[in-house]
Chains A and B, each alone.
Chain A
Amino acid sequence: MADPMKIRANVVGDSTEVKVLMNHEMETGQRKDAQGKTVPAWFIQNVTATWNGKTVLNAQWGPAVSKNPFLAFKFKGGAKGEKVQIVWVDNRGDKRTDEATIA
């Protein structure tokens, strides 16, 4: 089970600014271990952000994204007290869902 994300969501003007820290190894599949064996690729492939059941962001990621990725984005709308949900799925099929309240 993956560790939780850290999500902050704040109202800025007529938009909501969301900042997400994800806990993930993000292995590229290019590295070799001490024995010379390739470390298999292991990375987040899909990130979805929803607000009030509506998708506000959908991203397809590859192995070029850094370890423990930080994602910041804005969407129009959102009010204090409402929830933003983030879901990521990696190439092993592991999934993590976390939620934050807009402040």
Chain B
Amino acid sequence: MALQSGRVAVAALVVAAAGVAFGQGSTVDEIAKYREALQDGNPAELWEARGEEMWTAPRGPRKVAFTQCDLGLGPGVVKGAYAHLPRYFKDADRVQDLESRLVWCMVNQQGVAPADATKVTFGDGAARRSDLEALTAYVTGQSRGVKMDVALDHPKTREMYAMGEKMFYYRGGTHDFSCATCHGADALRIRLQDLPNLTTLEGAQKAYTTWPAYRVSQGELRTFEWRLYDCFRQQRFPELAYDSDTAIALTTFLARNANGAAFAGPAIKR
């Protein structure tokens, strides 16, 4: 009798151990399956459609359309433009990412007041919709399948890249965190979310090319600036200002490190 129950106990232990190992592997697999299932009906398309409409419409006090906005490949050219951003723009005398460039075009070409241009950077439902998110969805969607190719051909871009790298490894805040604390090693996670290791080529490419993304949990499309903004919040860093040099520097650093990978956004994430 005693022998028998011992055997049962051993068997149960084996099952339990197998369950744990199986559980971790399968969670990751199941999340991957979930993402795949969602891919087909990505609501990001709704943002892309809205952004496309906004692109050609006359806007602002000067009634100028975004077709005058140069994203680096000439006025109004969107096809493949995102794969080369951030870059240095002579007219603005500044390195700009896509969101900053859109704001610049709104202010300098369309005559929109700077405060109005960045009034709603991150949308919240039907009552607070963000034009910037829709425009970003449209422009990035036009680079789908294009290989990331951010050139460090200008001293200011190189300077931005170096600043971004420094920022990535800079530890601070109440938690003494840097970006690298979470994104500098393999197989780290927050709760069930696997965190990409952005110091590897594969990790950087996979992460950068899948933003912007539709966040199912928020029901919103989020841009790369939002990703950085929310990472800063999670790090307990000071609030990251939209269109700031810090945001652009980090974007330059991460975008450049993703060079060579085909852009795959706007994606869908849980």
Contacts and interface: CB of A to CB of B under 8 A. Distances in A.
Interface string A1-44: 00110100000000000010101010000000000000000000
A25 B46 CA distance: 13
Nearest to A19: B41
User: Mostly helix, strand, loop or mixed at chain B's interface?
Assistant: loop
Interface in B34-71: 40-43, 45-46, 49-50
B46 A72 contact: no
A12 to B, nearest CB: 14
Contact of A21 (B45, B50, B219): B45
Contacts of B219: 25, 66-68
Contacts of B42: 21
Contacts of A25: 125-126, 219
Interface string B215-232: 010010000000000000
Given A25-B125, A67-B219, A68-B219, A19 B40 contact: yes
A47 B151 CA distance: 49
A38 to B, nearest CB: 15
Nearest to A27: B125
B125 A21 contact: no
Interface residues of B, number: 12
B46 A21 contact: yes
A23 B41 contact: no
A25 B128 CA distance: 12
Most chain A beta-carbon contacts within 10 A, residue among B42, B125, B126, B216: B126
B126 A70 contact: no
A68 B125 contact: no
A21 B126 CA distance: 16
A25 B216 CA distance: 12
Given A19-B40, A68-B219, A6 B45 contact: yes
Interface string A68-93: 10101000000000000000000000
Nearest to A72: B41
Contacts of A4: 49
A66 B215 CA distance: 12
A6 B40 contact: no
B251 to A, nearest CB: 27
A19 B38 CA distance: 12
A23 B43 CA distance: 8
A67 B41 CA distance: 12
The 7 closest A-B CB pairs, nearest first, are A70-B41, A67-B219, A68-B43, A23-B46, A25-B126, A6-B45, A21-B45
Given A6-B45, A25-B219, 8 more contacts: A6-B46, A19-B41, A21-B42, A21-B45, A23-B46, A25-B126, A67-B43, A68-B219
19 contacts: A3-B50, A4-B49, A6-B49, A19-B40, A19-B41, A21-B43, A21-B46, A23-B46, A25-B125, A25-B219, A66-B216, A67-B43, A67-B219, A68-B43, A68-B219, A70-B40, A70-B41, A70-B43, A72-B40
